[in-house]
Chains A and B, each alone.
Chain A
Amino acid sequence: MTSLLVIIILVLLAIALWQLTKIFDLTQVGEEADNSQIANDSDNNTQGYLMFGFLAFIYIFTIYGLFTWGHLVLHTPASAHGGELDTLMNVSWVLIFIVQAITQVLLHYFAFKYRGKKDQKALFFSDSTKLEVLWSGIPAVVLAVLILFGLYAWTNIMFIDDNDDTIVVEVYAQQFKWTARYSGADNVLGKANVRLIEGINTLGVDLSDPNAQDDIVVSELHIPKGKKIHFKFRSQDVLHSAYFPYFRAQMNCVPGMVTEFAFEPIYTTEEYRQLPYMVEKVATINAIRAKKSAELVAKGEAALDSYTFDYLLLCNKICGASHYNMQMKVVVDTPEEYKKWLSEKATLVQEVKAANAPKPVEGGLEKDSTKAQDTAAVVKMAMK
């Protein structure tokens, strides 16, 4: 409230200031106008040289940036389609650098070269159809190539053929965590709706659906190398975005609808850790962390853990206060490891049964499972 009062006072002060202009209107009479605040030849000279200097600044800064920060940029895509995307990216970058280099030189060099001088006369050059055609034609041709290349890649990546041999996995978003559901042996996910959320069935899976019987719910995403994974995304509350930077994959999770993205991982987590660039990156990060840890320990706080690389799934659409900490570890296994990992997991139906089983009483399992089915049926009725 005090701050609001302060602001009101400031506004009033501003109005008072405004009123002062009236007084100054009167004092203006009799003052001489002159051209001292208009650029003269000496200003033009100085500013012209500074323009040239600024060109140097842009170039040096760009080159410095490429050397100092170039290694930060994501490279070596971990998915099969990533290579195509990165090629398109690199083609675009080459083009951008060429155009940027030429136009900035011309712009700043002309600003320097033609800086105003007293007896210099500008050339009256108002238009040229030839030139206009030239610089609308060249971009048109170049863009046509980029558009065609882009659309070809986009179609390859985004259109998922249902006949493909894929593994269907659901990625489920909620404030502020990710959960994954595997479709099991039938490779079909059971129906689900937020209205069915109850107890440990946090994804609202319809337990009466035959397709849901072998569904497996986990909090760490494992996927096998060399197999296309067909992700289906859901959200239970607000918009989220499932962002897998190393796989060049991203899709929003929208409450009320299912969205999809498919990709094939081509490096296991272990293999990706061994890539020379990643070894170097992790070493750099650990050096930074060691330095920070030393400071923390000096202050009497706990040191930071050392870092090993893991693929991550990040939330990339603002989703609430803790948006900045919504992540899930993604592990790419060899197909054998993956099979083994998945076979050790209990299905959701089993977990629900176990949770509903009253521990001390013998033989309660049967009764409870019917009860669970009843509840599901009731909820289904309510939905209708």
Chain B
Amino acid sequence: MSAEGHEQGHEHEHHHKDTFITKYIFSIDHKMIAKQYLITGIVMGIVGVMMSMLFRMQLAWPEQSFKIFNILLGDKWAPNGVMANDIYLALVTIHGTIMVFFVLTAGLSGTFSNLLIPLQIGARDMASGFLNMISYWLFFLSSVLMLCSLFVESGPANAGWTIYPPLSALPQAISGSGAGMTLWLVSMAIFIAASLMGSLNYIVTVINLRTKGMTMTRLPLTIWAFFVTAIIGVVSFPVLLSAALLLIFDRSFGTSFFLSDIYIAGEVLHYQGGSPVLFEHLFWFLGHPEVYIVILPALGITSEIIATNSRKPIFGYRAMIMSILAIAFLSTIVWGHHMFISGMNPFLGSVFTFTTLLIAIPSAVKAFNYITTLWKGNLQLNPAMLFSIGLVSTFITGGLTGIILGDSTLDINVHDTYFVVAHFHLVMGISALYGMFAGIYHWFPKMFGRMLNKNLGYVHFWVTAVCAYGVFFPMHFIGLAGLPRRYYTNTNFPLFDDLQNVNVLITTFALIGGVFQLVFLYNFFSSIFYGKKAVQNPWRSNTLEWTAPMEHIHGNWPGEIPEVHRWPYDYSNPGHDEDFVPQNVPMKEGEEILHH
């Protein structure tokens, strides 16, 4: 915490000049690592979104021939341009894996935790820059492995992103459970190691390296969100790692942790005494907190952006912190709501229904606090602000249907239908993606010293917003009609023939929405080089990152680290002329603290 200690470290950095390798590749500077996470996340995002567009086409026009399938999937997986059912399942599986872990965990949390934690708490860098670098490169390695798995002969993993055994354990059961699944498991194991290193770093940094005056109750809500997210990650990711390792044992060394009494391909296998339900427990012990690992950073980003652009303090700062903590605590005791009909004791179902529905309370508090923050504000409707408001909208729409899915009784009939797909895409997929976009539009000037084009940003937001509702709103109806997810085609069920035109509509929105992300990509990559140069504090924000100079220097501030004198949300404070008062501005003589 002592500023002097950092000062020395900072001077030390200036002794040697950065080479290309140390500056851009094996960098230990958190700002560069953040950019590395972001670019890798965007590349993985492109892959993930393209996959969804492909399988959406198959769902709208089942078993029809498309040249694009043949070009992208090759003769083996799309003979004559007709998508094979194995690869359909693989696309669904890898889309889920990439979007949840590689884009919305690493791409979102990795980028903004790295960028903002040191800058917003007033630290020279992460507690361990070296560990941070290793964390990124392990993530990079796991991304490469995941992409390589797309090219193995027997095809990529295709047992669903939840990889329930025995399907994922037996190559006889499905083609993707051969080398593709091995790579999937190795990639995820490395990913988890990367994530844990990152999370430990974030926790240690927030606890130890806050600048003078930066008490825990003066931390911006972004930092609170990243901090709590890191704790959830450290608590739950190791459990997935253990599940992955045990699955590797079952697959390769003949153990029976998850397998028992199996007769497949004309023979009885030797496995005895294991249970797939055990795997489900281990998987969802991470799997559910993972939802909050994805959404909390997005909500943290939104809190910051909504306050700044409303020119108002975030409403109920302490209530927001309490609700983050409550959500984090509850997130670790609700995993069983994914397993109401897994065959576990129905009594457990009752317990998990109770804990699950409780989460609605802190979530409602957050939603209402955002809405109240807008009330009587002076809203600066920048693209980042639009995405933040969009997030609140989809978080409410998607969150409300959670009341149905979290209720074990109602889950019986909608479990694993498209209703679930619609629910979680809105509440954590689209919402977290909006959070990520909001963060990019807001902190682009901090990352690259230039501004994103606002008009392209507006186009990007509005098309995305309309398409997101266009895709996922109708999907609730086909789910309530009883249509199961992960079906290659529904043509074998005349019962579902009347859902086909809804599927066409959904796909149309998905394709338009997907293609319009090119507007963002163009804006992003061209603005890195040609964007308007940014002023130091373009959004007139209070937090410390905007007090650092535009050019990135190792150690963040050239002189001393600024001292903090107030909370981060002194917007439109009646005692000041300007409508913002940065955290490093000392209290005026006799100035009263106007908030709790």
Q: What is A's interface to B at a CB cutoff of 8 Å? A: 1, 3-4, 7, 14, 18-22, 24, 28, 31-39, 43-44, 47-48, 50-51, 54, 57-58, 61-62, 65, 69-70, 72-74, 84-85, 88-89, 92-93, 95-96, 99-100, 103-104, 106-108, 110-111, 114-117, 120-128, 131-132, 135-136, 139-140, 143, 146-147, 150-151, 153-155, 157-159, 174-175, 193-195, 197, 204, 233, 236-239, 241, 243, 245-246, 248-252, 254-257, 259, 281, 284-285, 288-289, 304-305, 307, 309, 312, 314-325, 327
Contact = CB atoms under 8 A, between A and B. Distances in A.
B407 interface: yes
B202 to A, nearest CB: 25
A143 B358 contact: yes
Interface string B138-157: 00000000011001000000
A19 B260 CA distance: 54
A127 B317 contact: yes
A314 B417 CA distance: 11
A354 B131 CA distance: 71
A59 to B, nearest CB: 11
B408 interface: yes
Given A151-B350, A243-B484, A69 B379 contact: no
The 9 A-B residue pairs whose C-beta atoms are closest, nearest first, are A256-B260, A245-B482, A37-B451, A259-B343, A158-B346, A47-B381, A126-B595, A194-B263, A69-B477
B511 to A, nearest CB: 18
Contacts of B166: 237-239, 255
Given A44-B381, A103-B367, A159-B346, A126 B498 contact: no
Given A31-B533, A114-B378, A312 B412 contact: no
Given A122-B310, A255-B260, A316-B416, A92 B410 contact: yes
Given A250-B412, A307-B497, A127 B596 contact: yes
Interface stretch (B108-116, B247-255, B274-282, B512-520): B274-282
Contact of A319 (B167, B404, B531, B532): B167
B521 interface: no
B72 to A, nearest CB: 9
B382 interface: yes
11 contacts: A21-B529, A28-B533, A37-B531, A38-B451, A123-B312, A123-B376, A125-B372, A127-B317, A245-B482, A319-B173, A324-B492
Given A37-B532, A281-B498, A320-B174, 9 more contacts: A35-B538, A74-B482, A123-B375, A131-B368, A204-B263, A285-B495, A314-B482, A314-B484, A324-B487
Contacts of A154: 346, 349-350, 353, 408-409
Nearest to A124: B572
Interface string B385-406: 1100100110011001101100
B488 interface: yes
B493 A327 contact: yes
A18 B277 CA distance: 46
Given A44-B381, A252-B342, A256-B261, A122 B376 contact: yes
Interface string B157-177: 001100010110010011100
A241 B319 CA distance: 42
Given A103-B371, A122-B310, A146 B477 contact: no
A33 B415 contact: no
B498 A99 contact: no
Interface stretch (B214-222, B427-435, B452-460): B452-460
Contact of A39 (B380, B490, B528): B380
Contacts of A256: 259-262, 272-276
A380 B382 CA distance: 73
Nearest to B495: A312
Contact of A324 (B147, B409, B458, B489): B489
A192 B148 CA distance: 43
Contacts of B1: none
A32 to B, nearest CB: 7
Contacts of B262: 194, 236-237, 255-256
Nearest to B412: A250
B441 to A, nearest CB: 10
Contacts of A236: 261-264
Contacts of A245: 413, 482
B207 interface: no
A72 B499 contact: yes
Given A123-B572, A197-B268, A322-B85, A103 B167 contact: no
B378 A21 contact: no
A35 B392 CA distance: 27
Nearest to B169: A238
Interface in B473-511: 473-474, 477-478, 480-482, 484, 486-490, 492-495, 497-500, 502
B424 interface: no
Nearest to A2: B74
B61 interface: no
Contacts of A111: 374, 379, 381, 389
A197 B263 CA distance: 8
A84 to B, nearest CB: 8
B136 to A, nearest CB: 14
A197 to B, nearest CB: 5
